[in-house]
Each structure stands twice: as structure tokens, then as C-alpha cells.
Amino acid sequence: MRDSNFDPVKFAKTELNPLVDELIAHAERDDASDQLTYFSGIKDSILNASDPGDLIEVFFNLSAANFLNFEYSQESAILLDRLLEKSILLTESQNAGDEGFH
């Protein structure tokens, strides 16, 4: 059974958003305006989310980030991997069904 106390929007704002902020900081430092624009849009989507359905576009955009031909620094690539791992946990929690999410 899905954990009724789990709030996916709160999870996104507390767990994903800090990593997105770090990616934005790296993009600014690396003068990567394309990454800055892309991840700022993801941040806005997370901050404006009010229900789990609002996070669908966030998942799509995070998944697509590896395929946009951005030149990531090593630090940014590691952050993006961590961000994707956490977003997968969030996705799995929404699909937990009867098996639950731990």
C-alpha cells in the first residue's frame, strides 16, 4: 500500500530543488546559459507545483537533460545523476501500488 503520509510535492521541493539549485550555480559558474535557462525552468516548475500531477513535466525534463547535448562539468554531471536518482524514487513512490514505498 502506498504510504499515505508521503507528499510527492513536498519531497520534490525539499529533496530535488536543492540539487537543482546546485546545478544552476554550476551553470552560472561555467557560463552555461543554456543549462541555466533549462534548470531554472525545472526549478520554477517544482516551486509552482501544488499536486503530484504538476510534477510530470519535471520528470520528463529531468530525464531529457542527459540527451540535450549540454556540456556538463564533472561536478554538474554528478549532481544531475543524484537528481535523477531522487526523481526516480519519487516516480516509484507514485507507482508503488500495493507493494508500498520504503
Domain ranges of the chain: 8-94
Label residue 65 by pLDDT band (50, 70, 90): very high
pTM for this model (two decimals)? 0.84
Neighbours of 53 (CB within 10 A): 11
d(C-alpha 57, C-alpha 48), whole Å: 12
| Alpha-carbon distances, residue 25 vs 18, 31, 58, 63, 84 (angstroms) | 11, 10, 19, 20, 18
Among the residue ranges 22-26, 67-71, 94-98, the one predicted with the least confidence is: 94-98
Q: What is the mean pLDDT of the chain?
A: 87
pLDDT for residue 83? 93
Residue 93 confidence (pLDDT):
67
Grid cell in block for residue 69: 547535448
Task: Give the pLDDT of residue 1.
Answer: 40
